[in-house]
Amino acid sequence: MSREVWIIPTGTANVASIVAGLSRAGARACLSENPREIEAAPFAVLPGVGAFGAAMERLGSNGLGAVVVSRIRSGAPTLCVCLGLQLLFEASEESPAVRGLGVVQGTVGRFSGNVRVPQFGWNKVEPDSECRLIAPGHAYFANSYRVTSVPGGFAAAFADHGGRFVAAFERGGLLACQFHPELSGELGIALIRRWIDACG
């Protein structure tokens, strides 16, 4: 039987690719802006493709930002993808005047040096030994901003693009990926399955 995974709309996400990825992983995707439904959801995904400020404005206007924070602090299974990972932090250089969700400490920075920005394409992901969900391999990235240090208390994986950055991190029911698991072939779909199985 498929499991229901609720998608949290940010107004900046490619929802179709998330829905397709969840389907390939054996889950049934549901979409809602109702805070009560998201709060009670057995699984939730915070996706995002676009601007930090616009996504935070949307989450604030519909009350879902507080629900995401509550879910993560309670350990409820939550998958954050690309911009969704960045929204967990206190701030981003992309929108300096906008506060993030503040679930983890730190500021998201722009790629520096002589590298292509945004980073589009496949990159090697290398998890540390404490990761139970994230596996090594190549994943698909599409990002101009990144986090360089691991939030305290999390297991993490890394990639390199003009220097090492955090490709993903995990703890309990939270899995946050800077890459797009739904676009990363079998590596990404297997990761979604492991997240659902481990938290189910």
Catalytic residues: 82, 180, 182
HEC secondary structure over 104-129:
CCCEEEECCCCCCCCEEEEEEEEECC
Q: What are the residues facing 3 on neighbouring strands? A: 27
Q: Which strands, in side-by-side order, build the sheet including 27-31? A: 27-31, 3-7, 44-46, 78-81, 174-177, 164-171, 155-160, 119-127, 137-143
Q: Dihedral through CA 193, CA 197, CA 199, CA 200, nearest 10?
A: 120
- Tell me the Cα Rg of the chain: 15
